[in-house]
Amino acid sequence: MYAKGWYVCAMSDELGNEPIGRMILEQPVVIWRDGAGKPVVLEDRCVHRRLPLSKGRLVDGRLQCGYHGLEYVGSGQCVRIPGQDNVPPRAQAKSYPVAEGQGWIFAWIGDPADAAATPVPNVAEKVGAPGWRTIRGRLPIKCNHLLVLDNLLDLSHLAYVHGTITGNVAVAENARVETKVNGNRVRVTRVMEDVEAAMMYAEFGGFDRLNRWQLTEYIPPCYYFINNGSEQVSAGPVAPERVDGQAEWGFQVYHGITPENRNTTHQFWQISYPESACPANRLAEFDDLLIKVLYEDLYVYEAQQESIELIGPEGRDGEVNPVIAINADAGLNQARQILQRLSRAV
C-alpha cells in the first residue's frame, strides 16, 4: 500500500529527554535517543499490556514503560522486568532501522534487510551550509499524502492560493513549463520572463518586473526539493541550466511528506535561504510569510480531502477522480504513476 523506503519520522532537534510517540504509515512508533545519543525507533507498545512506550520515561539510556516498569534498550529488547529475575527473550519490541541527517531523523519502512543497501536521499542540500539560514517544522494535515504531491508538482497554484505572498496571475498564465522524468525522479521547471514581481519578490528582492523560475524535483517515495530564483529582466532569457540556482534572489524548500494514516499526513518542512535574501531586522516577518504559505496550502488540502471523502455522483469516493486533466497536471501524473508502481512492488 505504501512504497518501502526511508521516511522522516522526526526532526533532529525535537528529541530531548522525553520519548516521542507518533503514527507513521499507519504504524505507531516511539522515537528516542539511547545512552550514546543514537536515535531509536520502536513499535510504540509495551510487549506486556500494550501501554504506549511513549508514555514512559528515559532512565539511564533505557526506555522504561510507565505502567509496570519494563525496561528496553535501543535494539528493542526488554532487559528488565521489576519483581522477577528472568526476562523471556521474546520480550522484544519491533525495531526500525534509523538514520539521521539534514535536520531529520529517518525510519526505514519495509523489510529491514533492505535498509542498509538503500541510501537516504539527499534532499535538504543547504541545511547547515555557510551563509544560509534554515527554518523547519512539522505540520499535521488532514489529507491523503497524494494531495500534497499534486500540489508540489504543479506550482501554478501560487497564482490563486498564494496570490498575496509568493504568487500572482503571471505564475499561472505566463510560465514556460517543462517536465522531465529521470529514472524514478520527476523534475518540473517553470520559467516566467519579464513578468510582474509577486509580493515577496518585490518587497525583499526589490524587483518591479523580473525573470523568475521554479524547480520542483520529486524524489520517491516522499521527498520534494524546490528551488526558486529570480533576476532582472535585463539579464536576458533564462538558460535551462540556471534554474538550479537562485541568481539575484530566491530560496529553497524541502518537504518530507510522511503518511500518518490513509487520510492524514505529516508535512516535515524546511525552508533555506541565503542570508542576503532578507535584512537581519526583518527575519521574523520574512519567516512568517513563508510559513503562512504552508497554511494556505493546508486549507486547500483539508477542503479537498473533505470533498473526496464524500461519495460523488460517479459512486467512487476516496480519490480525486478528476473529470478533466489540464496541461499543468503533466508532472504530478508522472509522479503519481511512479509512486503507484513503487507501492505495488512492496
User: Which residues of the shown chain bind a second copy in the complex (CB under 8 A)?
Assistant: 27-28, 43-45, 47-52, 55, 64-70, 78, 81-84, 88, 90-92, 94, 150, 154, 156-157, 159-161, 169, 172-173, 175, 177, 299-300, 303-304, 306-308, 310, 312-313, 320-328
The Cβ-side half-sphere exposure at 166, using a 13 Å CA radius, reads: 27
Residue with cell 488540502: 301
Closer CB to a second copy, residue 172 or residue 186? 172
Q: How many whole angstroms separate alpha carbon 267 and alpha carbon 319? A: 20
At residue 337, φ and ψ (nearest 5 deg) are: -65, -40
Min separation Cβ 221 and a second copy, Å: 20
Shortest distance, position 125 Cβ to a second copy, whole Å: 29
- Minimum distance from CB of 242 to a second copy (Å)? 22
Least Å from the CB of residue 328 to a second copy: 6
Three-class HEC string of 117-158:
CCCCCCCCCCCCCCCEEEEEEEEEECCCHHHHHHHHCCHHHH
Nearer to a second copy, 93 or 124 (CB): 93
Count of Cβ atoms closer than 10 Å to residue 58 Cβ: 16
Our CB check for a second copy shows the closer of 55 and 138 to be: 55
Number of Cβ within 10 Å of residue 52's Cβ equals: 18
Q: Are 171 and 158 in contact (CB under 8 A)?
A: yes
User: Left (φ > 0), alpha (ψ -120 to 50) or beta: where does 84 sit?
Assistant: beta
Q: Which is nearer to a second copy, 48 or 185 (CB)?
A: 48
- d(CA 168, CA 318) in angstroms, rounded, equals 31
**Residue 149 grid coordinates:** 504531491
Residue number, 240 or 299, with CB nearest to a second copy: 299
Q: Least distance to a second copy from the beta carbon of 105, Å? A: 21
Q: Which is nearer to a second copy, 78 or 247 (CB)?
A: 78
Residue 102 CB, nearest approach to a second copy (Å): 29
